Amino acid sequence: MTYWKYLFIISLVLLVSFLVHLNFQLVKTLSGGPTIIDDILIDQPKDGAAQKQRLISLRKQVSTMKNKVGDLKNMVADIKKSGTNTNRVKSGVVASGEEYPRLTCTAEVAKKQTERMNKRFSEWWSHSACPDQVWMENIHNIFDAATPKSGKNKPYLILDIGCNKGYTSADFLDALSPGTNINPRSLVNSIRAVAKDMNTKFDRDGGVCNDSNKALNEDRNTKRKMEVHCFEPSPATYNMLISVRSKLMPNGPGEAKWNIHNKGLHEVNGQMKWHPACASAVGDELCTIVDENTDGAIDVPVVTVDQFLMDTYPQSGSTLPLVHMLKIDAEGLDPAVLTGSKSLLNQSNAIMVMFEFNPGLSEGKSPHGMWGRNGNPKRTLLEVTSSLDESGYDCYLDTRLVDEREKKKGVLDAPALYRITGDCMREEPRVRGWANVVCAARKYPNVASTLRNLATMV
């Protein structure tokens, strides 16, 4: 056991001893016997008011010390849980091959963060629905540092589950291989060209968060090896994406490959019934799994993430390939997709995970997905992030920073991320509509520390 662990335990023992001492003083006071407090207050009148004041003072001290002991107990529990792989040098850098330490928030810190987050929802209701994704800056350097030497010559691997119009795929292609010239702007131009060929117009063709207006990577030339797997269950949207890719990659794939699959991801493998909207409407948000008796429902194959990786990369054997980003936007079925990724997550072979938390689906018409009070089966955000924590992941609610327009109105700064893991969020966030969650495996200290540093309130 290392020095800093001993320090915590010694501090805990001292605090417990002090608490026992205070309790002893309280008992003596209640019984009318002399106490240290009596000696200190020897010159003060021994009337009932003074006695009552001493009792109040002692009770406050006992309550405060109990809270501090509780916080230290949580910290020691985390030390035991993290084992010997959580040693940090004084600079805060984790030794090579060691996990990043798991952080637990005190009740006070968790309360302050929650209060700021809830106020942020009132300032800008969609601050987490369309976040700034500050963590995307220099993402290729972050991924490079996390990739082991044995994988340096392998492509970046991105799983874009719930691809829709392809903007997440375009984001990562631009961030990691900008010379490929697939980015949000070129994507929207190709989508509109396909719509023109079809003599139609696609709804929200620039993305629901105006994704096509995102700033591009300043590096316009670098090409790197990468594979993006785009999963889209809607036949209509899938066909549109195939046409878009042919315009963006007229000569076929180069160093960067954009693979598009007409299938859904779930916790089981097989065929499932999907909403009739999947058949004809491009990018329709209703395209999700429905009851098998639904009129007009169509059959679409589903597969688990684990099974897809085993089938696509059989050379990996029992150890699944390193996935740099596992992105999930499954219209309320995100918990099921995560369940189907259990082997990948338990191996910590997904460097980062990003998924959508959408309790708002539960308030409208069926299908409700799994989030919210009408979820079927119902899952809460804290349940899902607790499961990810057990697999070694720290999770955060992503957000939009306070912009200059808001600052002029007196809105105070807010963090780029709100930490969920480690009791930092102790109640379900009051999300209006949907929100985005981003997680990092503690197995990769540089990635885990990048996210934690953006959660400035913890």
- Give residue 59's pLDDT: 56
Q: Mind giving me the DSSP string for 328-353?
A: E--TT-HHHHHHTTHHHHHTT-EEEE
Segments in the chain below pLDDT 50: 1-4, 29-30, 35-46, 76-93
At the topology level of CATH, where does 111-454 sit?
A: Rossmann fold (3.40.50)
Q: What is the DSSP string of 84-150?
A: GGG-B-TTSPBPTTPPPPPP---HHHHHHHHHHHHHHHHH-TTTTTS---GGGTTHHHHHHHHS-GG
Domain ranges of the chain: 3-83, 111-454
pLDDT in the model for residue 278: 84
Backbone CA torsion sign across 298, 304, 308, 311: negative
Mean pLDDT computed over every residue of the chain: 84
Sequence-ordered list of residues with C-beta below 8 angstroms from that of 226, at least 6 positions apart, any chain: 155, 156, 157, 158, 172, 173, 176, 177, 255, 256, 257
Listing from the earlier edge strand, what are the strands of the sheet with 323-328? 256-261, 226-231, 156-161, 323-328, 350-357, 435-441, 393-398, 417-419
The whole-model pTM stands at 0.80
> Which residues are 227's β-sheet partners?
157, 257
8 A C-beta contact, residue 228 and residue 172? yes
Instruction: Give the residue from 169, 177, 170 showing the smallest Cα distance to 222.
Output: 177
pLDDT digit string, tens, across residues 211-254: 999 999 999 999 999 999 999 999 999 999 999 999 999 988 88
The phi, psi pair for 211, rounded to 5°, reads -60, -30
* Pairing verdict, β 393-398 and 435-441: antiparallel
